[in-house]
Amino acid sequence: MNLLQTVLLAGALVALTACSSEYNGKECQGKIRSLSGQPIGTTQALIIDKFTSFTVATPDKELDSGRLFSTDRMKYIPAAVTEEGFLAQRVSDNQFSIINAPQDRWITYTCP
């Protein structure tokens, strides 16, 4: 086996290992506010970011954002309406938001 074949084989193994590894998410702190911005409390959740969607997992429940859309990512925050009727937003690579209008709750999760 020549050097080029060795390098290509090593690169293929690295790529396969990276693709097969499972991303388990990250623990994020959440600030709970009313829709008018009044602080209510804090929470914590595991955020599993899949780029086109994300999942918020707590010990009690799991909420999937569904596919996030934005007509222009430079002007508008990518967002979706969940099956439960909440507004899910990717504010940035490290910040996610869930808005539950009927319960007057707005949770913003910030991840390390």
For residue 98, give its domain range.
24-110
Please indicate, yes or no, if residue 73 is contained in any of the structural domains: yes
Within 13 Å, how many C-alpha atoms sit on residue 15's CB side?
Answer: 6
Helix (H, G, I), strand (E, B) or coil at 73: coil
How far from chain centre, in Å, is Cα 88? 9
53 assigned to some structural domain:
yes
| Structural domain includes residue 8 | no
13 in a structural domain: no
Give per-residue pLDDT as tens, 86-111.
Answer: 999 999 999 999 999 999 999 999 99
- 1-60 residue pLDDT tens: 555 555 445 555 444 444 545 678 999 999 999 999 999 999 999 999 998 999 999 989
Class of residue 107 by CB neighbours under 10 A (exposed 0-12, middle 13-18, buried 19+): buried
Specify the number of domains making up the chain. Answer: 1
Query: Looking at the domain assignment, is residue 16 inside a domain?
Result: no
CATH of the domain at 90: 2.40.128
**pLDDT band for position 73 (cuts 50, 70, 90):** confident
Give residue 72's pLDDT: 86
